[in-house]
Structure 1
Amino acid sequence: MPDKLGKDKQRYITGIIIILCLILILSINHIILVWTILGIAYLFGFGESIKLFACKSHWMMYLLAVIVWIFAGINGRPIESAIFIAMVMAGYLAYKKSFHPKQILPFIYPSIPFLTIFAIYKDFGSHAIIWLIIIVALTDVGAYFGGKAFGKTPFTSTSPNKTLEGAIIGLAIAVAVGSFVGIGGLSGNFIISLLISFGVSLSAILGDLYESYLKRSVDLKDSGKILPGHGGILDRLDAILFGAITMHFLLYFLDIWKDTSIMYI
């Protein structure tokens, strides 16, 4: 019992520190600061993914990961940067005749999702990041407490502790709140805001399941240990990483921040 209380206290302290850091970063709202902090998180997450994919680590992978992030900051095309570097990595491994297909995977996950978060900030500003965080956080919190109160039906064997009822409640709360958060300076249209909130919330659930699947496949409880009480970077950001891809795609697909919106064609 004392051990559990100690872990819970550690978890809460780390959570508060993370929230305060987020508030500070988004209050300063400077692209170089965001790029730097997000880049540090990305490199830790990249290292964790190598363990999750059970692939052979190579110094070239870390070097290319750094180059990916630098390119993303310089050329303004974050996602294309990851794809380009993944191609370079594949070519290098083939040339050296030491190709291990799994070594490409960290350049897909978490590289592309992390770069997508940076792309959201660069293209749509801090408000979009706040919107993303609110949707994902409410999905997670709603699912946890909803599952505790009403959960009876197991959601999936991938994550036995989650329930279908909890997932539905989390989704409903996130969509209800997220739909209003996205109005005004974000989308200006309730229906569009609702669709994006729904897509992001659903993706957050899938991201959490995917991370659970990866950890179970290599018999790991946590992806890392950098965040006391929480585990690794990917343990905390799994849902946000999946949600970010959906948000960025829908923001462009619906073209909601531009005058030539396809909704009015």
Structure 2
Amino acid sequence: MLRQRVLTAIPLVMLVLAVIWLLPGVWLQGLFAVAALIAAWEWAGLSGFDGRLGRLGYVVVLAAVLAVLAASDAAASQIWLIPGLLWWLAVAVWVLAQARRGHCYRLPFWLPAVAGLITLALAWLGIVAIHSLPVSGPFWVTLLMALVWGADIGGYFAGRRFGRHKLAPAISPGKTWEGVAGGLLLGLLLALLLQQVGAATLSGLPGLGWLLPVATMVISLSVIGDLAESVLKRQADRKDSGQLLPGHGGMLDRIDALLAAAPVMAAALMRVG
């Protein structure tokens, strides 16, 4: 399993970094729109859309939403940033409440469907807004990816080696507090490394007094994004959202943490150029 995960992850990472640094912003918008639409297909399946026609309709609705956002250049506006941050804080409260009660409250059919459209649209807006920052946009998207990937990799290995105390057994039995700590540590180390590289090539980057608390917040919310998808999978009695990516599951399994991290990072960067 680990070997398959690595073999799948390496070309994906190279593709994402190439799009971030080498191609015009419209390519990044398109790539993440495609990823969001694939994730929407999977989200629809987890939300109770069993037929292909219903799932396709759900994807078409999200495609229309993203098209309107792109045409109106909504990512350049700051009006959605605070609502996006509040959305994920509300999701965090809900997820923690599910974990505390010891079982997952079954959601009405319509709520996961609406939540999926909001979540995927906010994530797309976050990625596009961050990448659009003058000069430093690609750096910040790279840092965002490093935080999410670092939290995932560190959490995986620390959890397997040291995991003893369950994080949210009613939601995701495999996750542990030790894994969260390992993911946080690796994510912060990567942030420090990239900050040093960025400081040598870019001017005006904020210092460690800004970076460390923001990175901690982004990593923490990425864990919430992971757990939120786990709630959907548990209600649908599914282990993975799909089988698109060998060793990882579906697209939604791969980007669940990013869905929360992107709008949170964008909100933190409101005043950073």
TM-score normalized with structure 1 length: 0.78
Superposition pairs for residues 81-230 of structure 1, below 5 Å? Answer: 100=110, 102-123=112-133, 125-157=137-169, 158-182=171-195, 184=199, 185=202, 187-230=205-248
Deviations 1:27-48 (A, max 9, x none): 3231121111111111101111
Counterpart residue identity of residue 70, structure 2: G
Percent same amino acid among aligned pairs? 27
Would the alpha carbon gap of residues 188 and 64 (structure 1) be closer, same or farther in structure 2, given more than 3 Å must change?
Answer: same
Question: Which of 19, 41, 60 lines up with 2:35 in the alignment?
Answer: 41
Question: Which of 62, 75, 83 lines up with 1:65 in the alignment?
Answer: 62
Distance in 2 (alpha carbons) for counterparts of 1:163 and 1:111: 29
In structure 1, the partner of 2:6 is 12
Task: Flag the structure with larger Rg.
Answer: 1
Would the alpha carbon gap of residues 49 and 201 (structure 1) be closer, same or farther in structure 2, given more than 3 Å must change?
Answer: same
Distance in 1 (alpha carbons) for counterparts of 2:182 and 2:6: 23
TM-score normalized with structure 2 length: 0.76
Give the RMSD, CA atoms, in angstroms: 2.5
Greater relative CO (CA pairs within 8 A, separation 6+): 2
Q: How many residues end up aligned between the 2 structures?
A: 233
CA shift at 1:146, angstroms? 1.6
What are the ranges of 5 or more consecutive residues in structure 2 without an aligned counterpart? 84-108
What are the ranges of 5 or more consecutive residues in structure 1 without an aligned counterpart? 1-6, 84-98, 258-265
- Are the aligned partners of 2:44 and 2:55 in contact in 1 as well (CA < 8 Å)? no
Deviations 1:93-133 (A, max 9, x none): xxxxxx95554232112222233222221236211110001
Would the alpha carbon gap of residues 149 and 10 (structure 1) be closer, same or farther in structure 2, given more than 3 Å must change?
Answer: closer
Counterpart residue identity of residue 180, structure 2: A
Counterpart residue identity of residue 193, structure 1: L
